[in-house]
A and B are shown apart, each in its own frame.
Chain A
Amino acid sequence: MIKIILLIIFTSLFSNMAFAGTGIINRFNHEAHEKGAFKNLDFSCSQCHNFEMSSNNKSAKATNELTNSTFKTDLKNTCHQCHNTEDLRFKAAPKECILCHAKTPENTKEIKPLSHQNAEWKMTHSLNARTEGSSCLNCHIQADCLKCHLRRNDIQMQNHSRNFRFTHSVEARAQPHRCDACHTQNYCVKCHIGK
């Protein structure tokens, strides 16, 4: 028993040190989870850990895997089993990435998916938004869509570069569907007829 307790203390300490760099473990409120989610979902310790508490909560019973880690899997998957899933049992678990991953909104850039860095993401993200739109809302709000799709502001150009004014006629002739994605034909007519 003493070995197990020492092992738990050691591995917990080691685990916490490893996670401390991310800052995420520091934001995890074990007590609040126990009283709320774990109780409601009837979760035992072994849902996340490689041990189980005794019925009187005074001792822990280890599994063989405890020699490797106190957690059954890595921290990311431990959290994501409830917080990043479509499983309806965990509907009440917040899915908003920023709650754990960012101290300030500026930090959300650190968890920006790799797909968003692709040069073609701007052209291809509509499909993802249509089919997996709920996952977009984990980081984004509707205002993020509107910033490009429903506002016009020529103080700081966002969708087109300043030079686009001089070259758009060439592009519109060959790829009108790219214009159509945001503009109606009124947009052309207003300037080119002079109304």
Chain B
Amino acid sequence: MKCFLLISLLIISYKSQASGIFRMQSETMFSLRNDYQQKLEAPMYEYFGANYQTFNHSLTFDSSFSAYANPNKAGDNSFELYLLNASYEVIPEKLIIEAGRTADFAKSVGSLLSDQVSLKYYLWEKQGSIGAYYGIERDLNSDVTKKENDTQVGGRFDYHTLGTRPYYFESKLQKEIGDKYSQDFATLGLHGPLLTNLWGSEFLFSGEHNITQVQTRRLELGVDFYPSMKFANRWRFLSYKSRPLVGEEHDPIFSVISRGRLYEITSLIDYLLLPNLTFSVSLSFNDYLLQETKRAQGYRTEVNLNYSNSDLKLSDKVYYFQSYGGKIYGSRLIVTLVTFAPYELSGSADVTYYTKITSAKATAVSTDLLLGKVVNDFKWQVGSEFNTNNILNYDFRFLTKLTYTGWRVIND
């Protein structure tokens, strides 16, 4: 780690003559609330991200850090994240080297530490590139569900044509090596125009195949139509088989979830009703064709209305969802007013009725109201949240949040 930091600093020092842009983001949050046992808790969260990139993109440096602390509640829900990535163009317009480390101390889902290094070589005036990568992932508090080490090594190739409507192709071969297993994967992607005269149509193909098990994990075909500048219609066809982490599936959770191959068809429609008003509809039907009927089918329907101008942002979503696990009906409304800048007022209300296969029936309501003030690069928000559901009849939460987003030009 120290070596990596040193190399990164050397690279930055060496390239500091090059003009670039430095950007930073920070979010600081504090909340006061009752937990599900009606005990008072006061969690805090800090997220910080920084990026430096030269204007010619020969050097990029990314770092992120986050920490969550809940002083009244030890253990399970505290975590930290830190990430450090750097890319450097070793040979201008030809060869790029990238290296980085991500540590995700998410104690509620396992702690991961991963290091990766990759090379990318451009071909044909950057129309294509070949590359190779190596990564190692370590589970910091290993348990039965995760191997201790997982090495990933692979090669990739991508290519795109020129023009206003280019074709994109990408491919990857990857080997995953764990303590007890080794698997090979191949992924392919293709995206581009379909028929110029047919509403500017575009297609996409994306697939992931497990070579070792001779099984296609994911296959997605899509067609997008753009009959006018205001109208987009997307179709997606998906075949999907979920992938166990290490070839094991643990009861009881996976005994109630269908593990067969899923087939799904989705249609998405976006229509620009007015310059600032978008109407969207999403319809999905999915089926585990080879499973018993009672565990087979699901539906998802969402209708969205989005309005946005300089003073008002409004989003309303009505949704219906059904699977063999139950049915959900709901509506979520989000409104943000900035008519009295630099202040802004935002609120949301989400009402969900659900009935589950376990015979549970309830209505869950979640609402919040936030008052914000924008001063230069800072935004400060204070507000409260009220929820009611089958676990807590009255759930009040108070929140304050300070956001900073800024940039500076270096050596301009």
Contact = CB atoms under 8 A, between A and B. Distances in A.
Contacts of A193: 250, 252-253
Interface string A91-124: 1111110110000111000100010011110011
Contacts of A98: 407
A157 B30 CA distance: 13
B55 interface: yes
Interface string B225-251: 000000010100010101111000110
B85 A142 contact: yes
Given A155-B399, A163-B352, A170-B328, A177 B245 contact: no
B326 A142 contact: no
B202 to A, nearest CB: 10
Nearest to B271: A118
A125 to B, nearest CB: 12
A88 B126 contact: yes
A152 B326 contact: no
Pick from B204, B218, B323, B401 the residue with the most CB of A within 10 Å. B323
B56 to A, nearest CB: 5
Nearest to A195: B143
A192 B272 CA distance: 43
Interface residues of A, number: 65
B62 interface: yes
A177 B206 CA distance: 14
B121 interface: no
A167 B356 CA distance: 8
Contact of A161 (B56, B102, B280, B332): B332
A106 B406 CA distance: 9
A172 B168 CA distance: 32
A151 B326 CA distance: 29
Nearest to B370: A156
Given A91-B57, A163-B330, A177-B262, A142 B405 contact: no
Interface string A149-178: 011111110000111001101111111110
Interface string B246-274: 00011011101110001010001010100
Given A88-B126, A120-B268, A171-B323, A142 B51 contact: yes
Main secondary structure of the interface of A (DSSP, over half): helix
A14 to B, nearest CB: 26
Contacts, number: 241
Given A105-B407, A127-B191, A152 B262 contact: no
A175 B51 contact: no
A91 B125 CA distance: 12
Given A143-B64, A155-B45, 18 more contacts: A93-B55, A105-B406, A106-B374, A106-B377, A120-B234, A131-B191, A141-B51, A150-B64, A155-B30, A155-B31, A156-B401, A162-B387, A163-B389, A166-B390, A170-B356, A174-B322, A176-B242, A180-B243
Interface of B: 19, 21, 23, 25, 29-31, 43, 45, 47, 49-51, 53, 55-57, 62, 64, 66, 68, 77, 79, 81, 83, 85, 93, 102, 104, 106, 108-110, 125-126, 143, 145-146, 160, 168, 170, 189, 191, 204, 206, 218, 232, 234, 238, 240, 242-245, 249-250, 252-254, 256-258, 262, 264, 268, 270, 272, 278, 280, 282, 284, 286, 295, 297-300, 302, 304, 306, 308, 310, 315, 317, 321-328, 330, 332, 350, 352, 354, 356, 362, 364-366, 374, 376-377, 379, 385, 387, 389-390, 399, 401, 405-407, 409
20 contacts: A92-B55, A94-B55, A96-B21, A114-B272, A119-B304, A119-B306, A120-B280, A131-B168, A131-B170, A134-B57, A151-B81, A153-B47, A163-B365, A170-B321, A173-B257, A173-B298, A174-B286, A174-B322, A175-B323, A190-B109
